[in-house]
Chains A and B, each alone.
Chain A
Amino acid sequence: MQIRWLKYFTALALLPAILLSAAAHAEVFEKTLSNGLKVVVKEDHRAPVVVQQVWYRAGSIDERTGTTGVAHMLEHMMFKGTKTVPPGEFSRRIAAAGGRENAFTNEDYTAYFQQLQSARLPLAMQLESDRMHNLNLSDAEFAKEVKVVMEERRMRTDDEPHSLLYEKLMAAAYQEHPYQHPVIGWMNDLLALTAADSREWYRTWYAPNNATLVVAGDVKADDVFKLAQRYYGSIPAGKLPLRKPHSEPPQAGIKRIVVKAPAELPYLVMAYHAPELRDPEKDWKPYALEVLAGILDGNESARLNKSLVREQQLASQAGAGYDSTSRGPAMFILDGTPSTGKTVTDLEAALREQITLLVKNGVSEEELKRVKAQVTASEVYKRDSVFYQAMQIGQLESIGLGHKAIPVMLKKLQEVNAQQVQDVAREIFQDDNLSIAVLDPQPISGEHKHANMGGSHDLR
């Protein structure tokens, strides 16, 4: 799977991911093997189960023009066999152990996981460590699997008007930064992608010193370290290429795009460039933005739903999303669907009015307190999911902040004050910093519609 917009989509409904962070962080242990593999263990003994996740610091951000989608393609190929494990056998062995497994790729990383009874952890480690360095990337398997990925692209993007709109919006909003490319890759690049491309990607990035192993559940840290040494310890470190810096220049003027696709309802997205978290101790803007997202859209009575959907009835849905944790430059996103009889212009005006109110009057102590109460409660709820706790550790390790940032981030979120929220709103909500995308719905029948789809099958 690829999850490029997952973080924004979920943020629209829930509190931003970072808000759901760690208490009980005391039970986290870490060790780095001599080959550079960092092992992080979160003990949780509530149930006799364990999750293993291996996170590679290689995502679409590391791709080059012409071979976009290769990170995600390799994720698929990782299930296609090694020197000693035939194609499909990985999944069969995990299934036979009662396990579940999968993988996901996004802009910043690629991760693989298995959930199973804690006694079966050695099996998961044996298989996962094997494919870290013994993958057999055959032309024949590649040829079949790239077709699957093209189907995935059709399903997730080409035939999904909102996804298509986000893809085109990001391509417009980022001028230089690789975040302009979709994680799943452009169809043209998928059509041209070769097994050799995936082999090169694998050779370049799949190495213990470019990975984090996270194990969470009913295990003892010392046992996990021993197992990790046994299964992963002998894999040689790779020589990682120098990562070129990427930047995004100031936008210098509003950008507007229109996307036509078969749909009934129009849709509006306003994306503002925004800072991401770099120094968990010293930064304050990303925390203020997380709180701001909560004030706008953290619950049903938050500003956007209360004002636009319930009171003014201008929108049938309105949301805000921001994720401070990424390797590259972040976005603060507002989105909405106009009510019947209203237009995207009406909706844009209403969203802008909300921004003006924020910038002019700031936020109330009550709103601030409410968001912080939600953060506190979410900390407790988070402990009901071992998988989620492991996800959070792996993600923060992969983007370079490290899991030790989790308690720091929580503390800093609680320290955000109303003035900071107002200040950061004033700073980022500028037209020069804004890209707007509008979905222009097209009827689903009629010949011109086929032309509008620009369907991928036309490319073959």
Chain B
Amino acid sequence: MTCAKFFTTALFISGAALFSGAALATPHIQQWQTASGARVLFVEDHDLPMLDVAVDFAAGSGFDTAEKSGVAGLTHGLLDLGAEGLSEDDISRTMADIGAQMGGRFEPDRAGVSVRTLSSVAERNQALDILARVLQHPLFPEPVLAREKTRLIAGLKEAETKPESIADKAFNKAVFGTHPYGFRASGEIDTVEKIQRTDLEEFYRAHYGAKGAVVAIMGDVTRSEAETIAQKLTLQLPAGGASALLPPVNLQVQSSEQRIEHPATQSHILIGAPGMARNDPDYFPLYVGNYILGGGGFVSRLMEEVREKRGLAYSIYSYFMPMQQPGAYQIGLQTKKDQADEALQLTRATLREFVAKGPTEKELKAAKQNIIGGFPMRIDSNKKILDYLSVIGFYGLPLTYLDDFVGKVDKVTAAQIRDAYKKHINPDAMATVIVGAPIVVNPQPASGRAELTPTEAKTENGK
């Protein structure tokens, strides 16, 4: 839900950020390896008669190639559309019969499948049996692939008319160049057209191996039951596996500004650059700093300047996307076309001021109060704990991550935030994309479709 207040886009950072509250007991995480080499993280909890399981692989869109981007997404998407002895219809119908829910996750780094089921033995076994087959014996049926490619291409064509999608695509290209983090997660029309069934099979064999798998189990089973479950889900995963390491991101982005025409009433503005990796030593200063600048909902500086004081936008946010390699640092907003330049200048000035001077002590205190005081709400449901197990397992964070979090947040100083921002974010070297740009500013003959090619791209030199 997005509210009176705003569209939260603090996606990854909040998902990856775990806190431990003052007097709060953090969940007891058990960890082991399966015979096939998969890593398992388990929290036993019998409060509710239900079970959540998620299995993740280093198989996100970051493992695509430029020539055939979309293979990773289609491989993931087709896992539950046909597996040994089960048609796509068998899979969805049999899960529905017992009220089980299958879900998925597809990110630049990770691809995963999850199941939520009642923990009673019959239901649980049926749900996990299907999950085991989907993960270990997917069929990628030819006719299903043909149909899904058609649907995907239709969706991509639609996306190319939507200002937010056009902006995302141009932004990622400007920030990441040819690095796979810059690919559209679902691929491009011309690359998806080329994808064959063998591409999916190869991708599956290379990236869905047991050794890189992370199994998260949360809920109403015992340790020995969890061991059996993890074994059953991973024993027959592919043995080999490609490297799970992605190429390094070029952190030096050239300053650029693209203005792309669109008939929408608002301009969609994105500003950013590569930010930080998940294991960056500056993780906590940047996390807390971003809360102050644009991550803290209604109390952030950007919200105060752009929305509260001037009514220039409904939504304005900033976030880091910490991944295996540095994901984007992004500031985004939408505003009526004729005030786009005013909002853009104000946003840039706010960022510049923050990078130059860092937060005030008062802001830092308020940020810590919120992040630390809000910790219990980070782990108040099975679903949230499950997500943390997956993150801790996938990114190799310490098992004490939850217990340490509050302490780490509490230790952050204003000077650390300022230094970390200065080191990672250079306001003079950022990519800006404006879709639905005010035409008056840069008169440009309408050149047929306002494709994804910028109607104007200029290089700014510091200012």
Contacts and interface: CB of A to CB of B under 8 A. Distances in A.
B420 interface: no
Nearest to A316: B151
Contacts of A47: 376-377, 379-381
B150 interface: yes
Given A339-B154, A377-B99, A91 B373 contact: no
B120 to A, nearest CB: 10
B401 interface: no
**Which of A76, A98, A306, A317 neighbours the largest number of chain B CB atoms within 10 Å of its CB?**
A98
Contact of B381 (A78, A154, A384): A384
B88 A310 contact: yes
**Which of B153, B160, B377 neighbours the largest number of chain A CB atoms within 10 Å of its CB?**
B377
Interface stretch (A141-149, A238-246, A428-436): A141-149
A326 to B, nearest CB: 18
B118 interface: yes
**Which of B117, B157, B381, B449 neighbours the largest number of chain A CB atoms within 10 Å of its CB?**
B381
B261 to A, nearest CB: 6
B139 interface: no
A374 interface: yes
Interface string B127-167: 00000000000000000000100110111011011010000
Interface in B59-116: 88-89, 91-93, 95-101, 116
Given A1-B2, A96-B373, A340 B264 contact: no
B463 interface: no
A399 interface: no
Contacts of B335: 151
B356 interface: no
B382 interface: yes
Contact of B3 (A1, A98, A145): A1
**Which of B50, B160, B263, B307 neighbours the largest number of chain A CB atoms within 10 Å of its CB?**
B263
Given A6-B1, A298-B96, A443-B449, A265 B157 contact: yes
Contacts of B307: 148
Interface stretch (A130-138, A403-411, A447-455): A447-455
Contacts of B48: 46, 380, 383-384
B310 interface: yes
A91 B336 contact: no
Contact of B118 (A339, A377, A441): A377
Interface in A260-305: 262-265, 298-302
**Which of A152, A263, A456 neighbours the largest number of chain B CB atoms within 10 Å of its CB?**
A152
A151 B147 CA distance: 38
A187 B263 CA distance: 18
A277 to B, nearest CB: 23
B1 A96 contact: no
B160 A264 contact: yes
Contacts of B440: none
Contact of B369 (A97, A263, A450, A453): A97
Contacts of B375: 98
Contact of B150 (A100, A103, A339): A339
B21 to A, nearest CB: 8
A62 interface: no
B311 A98 contact: no
Contacts of B310: 144
A453 B377 CA distance: 43
Given A100-B297, A301-B96, A377-B118, A262 B376 contact: no
Contact of B449 (A100, A146, A299, A445): A445
A318 to B, nearest CB: 12
B240 to A, nearest CB: 31
A146 B158 CA distance: 31
Interface of A: 1, 3, 6, 46-49, 72, 75-76, 78-79, 87-88, 91-92, 95-100, 102-105, 115-117, 120, 143-152, 154-155, 158-159, 262-265, 298-302, 306, 309-310, 313, 316-317, 337, 339-340, 369-370, 373-378, 380-381, 383-386, 441, 443-447, 449-450, 452-453, 455-457
14 contacts: A48-B21, A49-B377, A76-B4, A95-B296, A100-B377, A104-B3, A117-B377, A120-B373, A370-B96, A377-B101, A378-B99, A383-B48, A384-B48, A386-B381
The 3 closest A-B pairs by CB, nearest first: A98-B373, A377-B99, A147-B311
Given A263-B158, A264-B158, A453-B264, 18 more contacts: A96-B366, A98-B373, A98-B377, A102-B3, A103-B4, A151-B335, A300-B91, A302-B96, A313-B150, A337-B154, A340-B154, A373-B96, A375-B99, A377-B99, A381-B50, A384-B381, A443-B449, A445-B263
Interface of B: 1-5, 21, 23-24, 47-50, 88-89, 91-93, 95-101, 116-118, 123, 147, 150-151, 153-155, 157-158, 160-161, 163, 261-266, 296-299, 304, 307-315, 334-338, 366, 369-377, 379-383, 446, 448-450
